[in-house]
Amino acid sequence: MELKTKHNIGIKDAMTYNVITATSSSSISDIATIMTKHDISSVVIEDQVVEGIVTSNGIISKVVSKNISPQDITADMVMEKYVSVGLDTSLIEASSAMIKNNCKVLLVIEGDVLKGILTLTDIVRVSPELIELFIEEKNLNGLYSDDVYSNDYDEHLSEGVCEKCGVYDRLRDIDGGYLCPDCIDNESEEEMD
């Protein structure tokens, strides 16, 4: 599969530099508060060096679903191993690392120093065409049957991040810009006024 993208786009163009961290002794309750406050779904656990990552999915599956009090559990008890890449990694290489490791978050580390974090959402925001890489990989691995998912799609209607409101939704190309149905409706209403 040949993607129509600039191969020189690096993760520096997409990653978040100010990473929200906590220590391994932080309670899951505190980490959940941090996630809510910053509207994020993962917190990097860092003592002297990066130890791991706590995700909202991990909290749900390891704490909430087992009816354990989040005040009684610390980050080191539920943190997951992390996948890291270097600062010079391209978006395509980062996407491939996510697919290979079945993860949605990569830590950007140089030496032992945490430089940033890169999520699947960051990649799609900067280079929406890379979503095709994820879709094809899932299809190659037989995760989707032709009955459930098809690569045949209307070129005028695709999924991605709306250029006006930033919401991930089905998009239409309107005068060279990709907009979600709500923004298209809003523009139509504004034109009528």
* Residues 88-110 pLDDT 10s: 998 888 888 988 898 889 999 99
To the question of pTM greater than 0.75 for the whole model, the response is no
Q: In the 8-state DSSP scheme, what is residue 65?
A: G
Would you list which residues are annotated within the binding site for Fe cation?
162, 165, 180, 183
Q: How many domains does the chain have?
A: 2
- Asked whether 175 and 159 are in contact (CB, 8 A), the reply is no
Q: Give me the percent of the chain exceeding a pLDDT of 90.
A: 40
Question: Domain boundary residue among 113, 129, 145?
Answer: 129
Pick 83 or 168 by higher pLDDT.
Answer: 83
Residues 121 and 184 in one domain: no
Does 137 reside within a domain?
Answer: no
Pick 39 or 142 by higher pLDDT.
Answer: 39
> What pLDDT, on the 0 to 100 scale, is given for residue 139?
58
Q: Give the separation between CA 29 and CA 22, rounded to whole angstroms.
A: 12
Does 26 reside within a domain?
Answer: yes
Does 140 reside within a domain?
Answer: no
Give φ, ψ of 182 to 5 degrees: -65, -45
In this prediction, residues 32-41 reach a mean pLDDT of 94
What is the per-residue burial (b if ≥16 Cβ within 10 Å, else e) of 19-46? Answer: bebbeeebbbbbbbebbeeeebbbbbbb
Q: Give the separation between CA 44 and CA 114, rounded to whole angstroms.
A: 9
Pick 15 or 178 by higher pLDDT.
Answer: 15
Which run of H or E residues covers position 115?
A: strand 113-119
Range of the domain at 83: 11-129
CATH number at residue 96: 3.10.580.10
Which run of H or E residues covers position 105?
A: strand 105-110
Give residue 181's identity as a one-letter amino acid code.
P
State pLDDT tens for residues 133-175: 666 665 555 544 444 434 443 444 466 777 777 776 777 888 8
Would you list which residues are annotated within the binding site?
162, 165, 180, 183
Would you list which residues are annotated within the binding site for Zn(2+)?
162, 165, 180, 183
